[in-house]
Structure 1
Amino acid sequence: MPDDIWEKFAGDSERDIRSSAPKEPSARARTVTGRLREQEARGELPAGWRTGPAWQQMNGRSAWRRRRWALLGVPVALAVAVVALKPSLLPGDLFGSGDREAAAAPLPEETAAPTAPPTSDPGVPTLARPFAGSPAARWADGEAGIVLPKATPVGSVSAKQVEQALRQTRTLLIEANLNPATLRGKRPTDALDLIEPRQKDLHEDLDTALRKPDKGHDPLGMFSRFDPAEVRLAGDVVKTRGRITFEKGRDAAVTVHADYTFVYPVVGADRGAKEVTRTVVRRVLDVELTDPSRYRVTPGKISVLRYDLDIGNSACDVYDGYLHPQFASSHPAGADPTGPTTDPYDRSQDIGADRSKGCGTVSRV
């Protein structure tokens, strides 16, 4: 409660108490009271003139009520101030704030494919709230969203080896999609070092894509990259949601399947830029760890079996190795979309739909 309001309240309460306190009768009041008593003794006053609620008694009760309410006013005022600061403390949540807090609470871990697209509250992204209006507002932040299942033995592959495969897959996802240097377009050396060196064709393709990207060699297939001269992240949080599973592979191996969506809020690179938009990238990654005691593989490395993606809100048919988020206030870059409209947050459908229909549009970002 502000100091000036509190002081006014305390002063009013003190003044009411002081004005209601009993006072010594004046000399005139004593004279009138004595004359009335003498008249009563001589029988000059009507009977019952004192049987009603005398004004002295009524005034006494009124004074007590004023003192009682003044005393109760302090805790009541404090209670009102507390409830004003946090309405959810009221029983039954009379103002519905509990519902809003529950709606904004983080989602539980995803353990299976959802059955429908997620819902979201209306809102426009801002620098202060870059995920306003997005289902990702309830998703986990960055690495916290990549949760590993408990490792168990798979065929001849021990639980320890399975855990190693899971951890390496998680690290590859982080280095390829969340590492700030990777997002700024730097070479993702740590991610490349996790991949089996014997996969020479894959290493050559990724190296070419990073050095000289084109339609046939696009680094975005594996890595999330933005042109720092064009955009920068709005804040330092990337929202993440998905799941990792594993199963028995062929030839004494364990196969790990990862399916994750990353939501990147961005703003123009110009100083003072305020308009925020989002790019949504969904990735599917299958890797394999083979028992090095039985096959000729490099210990501590994983083999990439599949990597695929869907991108929401990036320039169409631009192959310079960067994601190009589209802002509402600017004319879309790249080719005009010709494909169907899709929801980039819909994780209920399998990734890798028929792309022969051309670049599509997104229903929301």
Structure 2
Amino acid sequence: MPDEVWERFVQDSERDIRGSAPKEPSARARMVTERLRQQEARGEAPEGWRTGPTRQDLERRATRRRRRWAILGVPVAIAVAVVALKPSLLPGDPFGTGGPDPAAASPLPAETAAPTAPPAAGDLETPTLDRPFAGSPALRWADGEAGIVLPKATPVGTLSKAQVEQALRQTKRLLVEANLAPDTLRGERPDTALGVIEPRQTDLLDQLNTALRTPDERHDPLTMFSRFDPAEARLTGDVVKTRGRMTFKAGEHASVVVHADYTFVYPLVRTDGSTEVTRTIVRRVLDAELSDPAQYQVTPGKITVLRYDQEIGNSACEVYDGYLHPDFSTTGPTGAPATGPTTDPYDRSQDVDADGQEECGVVSRV
């Protein structure tokens, strides 16, 4: 019973008890009573003075009491019915229903070092439109940009704290615009992300522009950007789960080098009206450098990309049209058969393979 209902019940009970408790008659009441007795002895007492309340009075009082309990009983009955239908409304688990432990889905603290093992296997829950991350370790990861936490900036070599902080912010901006921006995910041209890169890095920019314009096996925009074919699949909801870490150190050329290692989990549905939910997992490793403009000819505020590697889980093999193609259980697989080993796309304890061998393998979970 809710506290406010119980309190109202106690107050009503105390009021009724006080109203029905015997009271010491006043001096005037004793005088009137004695006079009535004397009149009764002489046969002069008024009719009915000892008979008490009339039957009609008693019925009216009983009706008032019954009405009070009826008004009290309605919210109690409603509360009992609601709790019976949904015991989870009560705090804790007083009836031992064995529902999910809210603490199990509490957010993980930010990652500050490489994990020593992959995430533990969770419940074998099927993702739904309402719970697209059910059964995934990403359920406890941060949402989108909130998962990219910048370390505290400090001066590095000839670069000030403000310049190091600028390098960190620009690296984050590139990650966000390349992997989280809605227009990029819809397959649109990621102009904002391209605008973060040093304009003098012409080879890289030419490579990316060609990949976006005419993708093929040698020019694949997925090496830098996460993109889905809007005619085939779309995000369910507006949350992409993110987990990783960012560090920095002094570079070789009066610079600061920022190292970023992040995994993004995309919940997806087909655009044909199906309600089946699947997930594609993309891990990206990025090294970016910001040099001292007082010593090198660089564009202030722009970063030079030194390295960009990726691992992609649950996307069609050997399809080079510039889009990620997630597999759904209710449709046949697309692309070539997987020939690589089975891997856990959530395992962040191992480094990304940067030896240039791009084997398309099987994921152990999505």
| TM-score (normalizing by structure 2) | 0.75
Q: Aligned pair 1:328/2:346, yes or no? A: no
8 Å Cα contact 1:258-1:286 kept in structure 2? yes
Q: Mapping of 1:265-284 within 5 angstroms?
A: 265-270=267-272, 272-284=273-285
The 1:291/1:129 distance shift into structure 2, 3 A limit, reads same
Shift of 1:356: 3.8
Q: What is the aligned partner in structure 2 of residue 216 from structure 1?
A: 218
TM-score (norm 1): 0.76
Distance (whole Å) between structure 1 residues aligned to residue 344 and residue 320 of structure 2: 23
Residues 1:97 and 1:144: Cα distance change in structure 2 (over 3 Å): farther
Q: Are the counterparts in 1 of residues 309 and 354 from structure 2 also a CA contact under 8 Å?
A: no
Give identity over the alignment, percent: 68
2:176 to 174, 177, 182: 174
- CA–CA separation in structure 2 for the residues paired with 1:288 and 1:358: 29
Q: CA deviation at 1:326?
A: 0.3
What corresponds to 1:142 in structure 2?
A: 144
Moved over 6 A (4+): 73-83, 96-99
Deviation at 1:169, TM superposition (A): 0.4
Partner residue of 1:191 out of 174, 190, 193? 193
Structure 2 unaligned blocks of 5 or more = 21-68
Is 1:88 matched up with 2:130?
no
When residues 96 and 148 of structure 1 are mapped into structure 2, their CA distance, relative to the original with a 3 A threshold, is: farther
Separation in structure 2 between the aligned mates of residue 177 and residue 154 of structure 1, nearest angstrom: 28
Pairwise CA distance, 1:122: 1.9
Q: CA deviation at 1:156?
A: 1.3
What secondary structure sits across from 2:274 in the alignment?
coil
- 1:355 CA drift (Å): 6.4
Question: How many residues in Structure 1 have an aligned counterpart in Structure 2?
Answer: 300
CA contact (8 A) 2:177 2:190 kept: yes
1:274 and 1:76 map into 2 onto residues whose CA distance is: 39
CA distance in 2, matches of 1:238, 1:104: 16
Q: Output the CA distance in 2 between the equivalents of 1:219 and 1:357.
A: 15
Say whether residues 1:342 and 2:343 are aligned partners: yes
2:242 aligns with 240
Q: Answer whether contact 1:264 1:280 (CA < 8 A) is retained.
A: yes
- Whether contact under 8 Å (1:88, 1:98) holds in the other structure is no
1:63 maps to what in 2?
A: none
Stretches of structure 1 that go unaligned for 5 or more consecutive residues are: 22-69
C-alpha contact (below 8 Å) 1:287/1:303 kept by paired residues: yes
CA displacement at 1:330 relative to structure 2: 1.2
Over the aligned positions, Cα root-mean-square deviation in angstroms equals 3.1
Sort the Cα spacing of 1:103 and 1:165 in 2 relative to 1 into closer, same or farther, 3 A: same
Give the equivalent residue in structure 2 for 1:252.
254
Q: Distance in 2 between matches of 1:321 and 1:89?
A: 49
2:110 equivalent to 1:109: yes
User: Is residue 253–residue 289 contact of structure 1 (8 Å, CA) maintained in 2?
Assistant: yes
Match of 1:123 among 122, 125, 142: 125
- The Cα shift of 1:359 comes to 1.4
Task: Name the SS of the counterpart of 2:231 in structure 1.
Answer: coil
Q: CA deviation at 1:358?
A: 2.8
Question: How far does residue 251 in structure 1 lie from its aligned partner after superposition?
Answer: 1.2
Residues 156-186 of structure 1 show CA distances to partners (whole Å, capped at 9, x for unaligned) of: 1111000000000000000000000000110
Partner amino acid, structure 1, of 2:91: S
